[in-house]
């Protein structure tokens, strides 16, 4: 069953039947005491089944709002969103303090109806692959920030949804662990393809992991440039082709800078 949320406007164009994402001319507005904030306007993006699309843009441009719309956690004020069942990994780990680390990782399996022992057994191999072996019974407060983020990542993967919406999944990790996690994710997606919408502030990470990079404008956010990566995997940040594409993406971001607009 697909998730579909829309405002009363035109239908999305040429929608994939399974496992893809289509965001069509979406607007999202928030009202608060400070006034009205238009987070997204004219936002359109298509993610093909089993494609990894990395979304980059300045802080506050609506990237997290986009992910919540795709997951059906928000409703657009205009336009439409159609997606296969999606799971969100938010920026905060949101681990439950009364559960140990392995129970937190297996939470999606428990919600799906599996028994505790079965869920823990299913989560344990992935737990170990991500360097968390030996910490199965630790409580969240006994884990470092990076370890908590990895537990949250396991929980997201084990939800088993065809679409993964990852909001800065590796932001709290040290440089070496981040590289290891990027390599592990690339390998995991090669073994078991998913459709991935990855939000990151790290343009280099976007090129290393993405099949395509979508560059967003400052708020109200919309896609202003798309860069096809087209490089074989595995990729290294120091590869000349990766560096060249990183500079292309950074230039697209600079073109949308308010400071550059002021100079024109």
Residues 123-151 have pLDDT tens digits of 999 888 888 999 999 999 999 888 898 89
Entry pTM: 0.86
Confidence of residue 16 (pLDDT cuts 50, 70, 90): very low
Mean pLDDT (whole number) for 13-29: 75
Confidence of residue 185 (pLDDT cuts 50, 70, 90): confident
Q: Which residue ranges form the domains of the chain, and what is each CATH number?
A: 3-85+162-174+194-263 (3.40.50.300)
Alpha-carbon gap, residue 51 to 84, rounded angstroms: 13
Tokens describing residue 78? 């205009």
Look at residues 3, 34, 37, 36 and name the one whose alpha carbon lies nearest to residue 18: 3
Alpha-carbon gap, residue 214 to 134, rounded angstroms: 39
According to the per-residue pLDDT averaged within each range, which of 103-107, 142-146, 150-154 is highest?
103-107
Are the C-beta atoms of 177 and 146 separated by less than 8 Å?
yes
Residues 155-168 have pLDDT tens digits of 999 999 999 999 99
Look at residues 12, 2, 15, 11 and name the one whose alpha carbon lies nearest to residue 72: 2
């Amino acid at each position: 069953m697909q998730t579909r949320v829309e405002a009363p406007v035109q239908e999305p164009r040429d929608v994939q039947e399974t496992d893809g994402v289509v965001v069509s001319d979406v607007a999202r507005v928030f009202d608060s005491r400070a006034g009205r904030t238009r987070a997204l306007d004219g936002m359109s993006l298509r993610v093909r089944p089993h494609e990894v699309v990395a979304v980059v843009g300045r802080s506050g441009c609506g990237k997290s709002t986009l992910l919540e719309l795709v997951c059906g956690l928000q409703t657009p004020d205009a336009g439409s969103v159609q997606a296969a069942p999606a799971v969100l990994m938010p920026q905060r780990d949101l681990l439950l303090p009364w559960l140990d680390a392995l129970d937190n990782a297996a939470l999606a399996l428990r919600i799906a109806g599996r028994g505790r022992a079965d869920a823990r057994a299913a989560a344990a191999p992935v737990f170990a692959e991500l360097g968390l072996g030996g910490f199965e019974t630790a409580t969240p407060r006994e884990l470092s920030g990076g370890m908590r983020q990895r537990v949250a990542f396991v929980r997201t993967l084990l939800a088993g949804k065809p679409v993964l919406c990852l909001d800065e999944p590796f932001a709290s990790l040290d440089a070496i662990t981040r590289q290891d996690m990027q390599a592990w994710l690339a390998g995991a997606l090669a073994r078991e393809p998913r459709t991935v919408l990855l939000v990151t502030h790290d343009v280099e990470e976007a090129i290393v992991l993405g099949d395509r990079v979508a560059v967003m404008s400052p708020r109200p956010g919309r896609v202003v440039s798309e860069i096809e990566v087209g490089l074989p995997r595995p990729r290294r940040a120091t590869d000349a082709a990766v560096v060249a594409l990183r500079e292309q993406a950074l230039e697209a971001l600079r073109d949308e800078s308010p400071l550059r607009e002021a100079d024109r």
